[in-house]
Amino acid sequence: MQRFWTHGYHATSMDDLVKATGVSRGSIYADFEGKRDLFLCCLSRYQDEVVTPAFAQVEQADAGLETIEAYLLFQLSHLDDDRLPGPGCLVANTMTELGPHDRDIHDAVNAHNVRLQNGFYQVLKRANKSTSPLSPDQLGELAVFLTMSVQGLWSFSRSAESVEPLRQYARTLIDLVKSRLQ
Partner DNA sequence: CCAATACAAGAACGATCATTCCAAAACTGT
Partner DNA sequence: ACAGTTTTGGAATGATCGTTCTTGTATTGG
Partner that binds at residue 168, options DNA, a copy of itself, none, CB closer than 5 to 8 Å by kind: a copy of itself
Q: Which stretch binds a copy of itself (CB under 8 A): 16-24, 25-33, 62-70, 141-149?
A: 141-149
Q: How far is the CB of 159 from a copy of itself (least distance, A)?
A: 4
Q: Please, are residues 174 and 69 in contact by the beta-carbon 8 Å criterion?
A: yes
Partner that binds at residue 163, options a copy of itself, DNA, none, CB closer than 5 to 8 Å by kind: none
Task: DSSP for 111-143, please give it.
Answer: HHHHHHHHHHHHHHHHH--SSSPPPHHHHHHHH
Radius of gyration, alpha carbons of the chain: 18
Name the residue nearer to DNA (CB basis): 21 or 60: 21
Q: How many chain residues are in contact with a copy of itself, going by CB under 8 A?
A: 45
Q: Which stretch binds DNA (CB under 7 A): 25-33, 81-89, 134-142, 166-174?
A: 25-33
Q: How far is the CB of 27 from a copy of itself (least distance, A)?
A: 25
Query: For the window 108-127, what string marks contact with DNA as x by the rule CB under 7 A?
Result: --------------------
Please list, residue by residue across 134-149, b when 16 or more beta carbons sit within 10 angstroms of its beta carbon and e when fewer do: beeeebbebbebbbeb
Residue 112 burial by CB count (10 A; 0-12/13-18/19+): exposed, middle or buried? buried
Q: Is 156 in the site for a copy of itself (CB under 8 A)?
A: yes
Q: Which stretch binds a copy of itself (CB under 8 A): 16-24, 51-59, 72-80, 137-145?
A: 137-145
Chain centroid, CA 80 distance in Å: 18
Q: Which stretch binds a copy of itself (CB under 8 A): 32-40, 47-55, 56-64, 145-153?
A: 145-153
Q: Is 172 in the site for DNA (CB under 7 A)?
A: no
φ and ψ at residue 29, rounded to 5 degrees: -75, -20
Type of residue found at 127: A
Q: What distance, in Å, lies between the first and last C-alpha atoms of the chain?
A: 42
Residues at the site binding DNA, with contacts judged by CB under 7 A: 12-16, 23-27, 29-30, 34-36
